[in-house]
Amino acid sequence: MQGNTYYHPVEKNPMPLGKSPLTPREMQVLRLLCRHMTNSEIAAALFISENTVKFHNANMQKKTGFANSVDLAFHVITHGWVNPLY
């Protein structure tokens, strides 16, 4: 307006409401992770290997910038993006 440029602040974790950088399968893994399931329990529930669950966890962390899956799960639960009871 006065020749100044204003930028929207960059979010640390690119997961605004209504959008998700995660694939549908990663979201399935994340929902089960939010229910305090172990990697082996998630693998059994989704009929995939435990290594595949670990691969999805690593991808989710890379996409969202979280250092571990517990922080990611806590973040999505507290922001209401995943309901652990669902």
Tens of pLDDT along 28-81? Answer: 999 999 999 999 999 999 999 999 999 999 999 999 899 999 999 999 999 888
Contact 35, 77 (CB under 8 A): no
What is the phi/psi pair of residue 62, to 5°?
Answer: -65, -45
CB atoms within 10 A of CB 1: 4
Domains by residue range for the chain, with CATH: 24-78 (1.10.10.10)
Q: What is the pTM of this model?
A: 0.76
Q: What is the spatial distance between Cα 36 and Cα 23, in angstroms, rounded to a whole number?
A: 20
Task: Spell out the residues 6+ positions from residue 67 whose beta carbon is closer than 8 angstroms to its own.
Answer: 61
Query: What's the pLDDT score for residue 35?
Result: 94
- Tracing tokens 């691969």 back to the chain, one arrives at 55
